[in-house]
Amino acid sequence: MTCSRALLKPFSILSLLAPMPAMALEPTTTNVLMQAISLSGFCFINLLLTILFFYTGKYQSERFAKMHTLLSIIPAIISLIASLTYIDAAGGISLNVGVIIVCVALSLLPIQLSHSRRAPTHNTPKIIAAFAALLLLLSYFMVPLSLFAVAAAHVAASSQSSLKVKSLCVTILTLGYCHLGFWAYQIVLHS
């Protein structure tokens, strides 16, 4: 009895590594899942930026909150158009529309957070620049994170900050744009 329980754990782990059915690799299913995973990843990083901007007091400006909302809704709109255009199965469309609804709801969050008047501190640019530097470091493993690093560096550079913070932001922007340019070059080269 104890021997069968001891073998249960290794066999369950090995069953996760077993090949999946051939239907899982059908091109339409792969496209649906890749689109849902990509949009979910964007929502997660955008949620981290929303939390960062809220706690640093950037949403005190309603204009900033509206711009963040408009920019974060763009991927959801593009995903909705792509879903309705390219996906034929009802299951795929319903999966992506569900992810799109969650993305739009999280994108509208900055407007709601702008009503709580949390004032920015003198450390706000430092915190945002440090987060941008962290995202830039992580972008060498996941290249799309450099988009968020560049956006956070722009926000930190536009704040009233010291020369050290502005020079850090310029460095992050330079490295981030170079990284994005090299990534775009690689995509074009291998397409």
Q: Is the pLDDT of residue 22 over 50?
A: no
Q: Which amino acid is at 27?
A: P
Which tens digit of pLDDT belongs to each residue from 116-146?
877 888 889 999 999 999 999 999 998 889 9
Local structure of residue 121 (DSSP, 8 states):
-
The string of pLDDT tens digits covering residues 84-104 is: 887 777 777 888 888 999 999
Is 112 found in the same domain as 42? yes
Same domain, 153 and 82: no
* pLDDT, mean over the chain: 85
pLDDT for residue 175 is more than 50: yes
Cα 78 to the center of its chain, rounded Å = 15
Give pLDDT, residue 30: 74
Last residue of one domain, picked from the residues 117, 142, 164: 117
Buried b / exposed e over 56-70, threshold 16 CB at 10 Å, is bbbbbeeebbeebbe
**pLDDT at residue number 159:** 84
Give the predicted TM-score (pTM) of the model: 0.79
DSSP secondary structure letter of residue 59: G
What is the structure's pLDDT at 23? 47
Q: Which residue, of 69, 92, 117, is where some domain finishes?
A: 117
User: 8 in a domain, yes or no?
Assistant: no
When divided into structural domains, the chain yields a total of 2
Packing angle of the helix pair 27-55, 145-158 (nearest 10 deg): 20
Domain membership of residue 38 as a residue range: 26-117
pLDDT of 190 over the 80 cut: yes
Nearest C-alpha neighbor of 69 from the set 17, 106, 27: 106
Is residue 6 in some structural domain?
Answer: no
Q: How confident is the model at residue 176 (pLDDT cuts 50, 70, 90)?
A: very high
Q: Are residues 152 and 191 in the same domain?
A: yes
For residue 51, give Cα distances in angstroms to 84, 85, 143.
Answer: 31, 33, 22
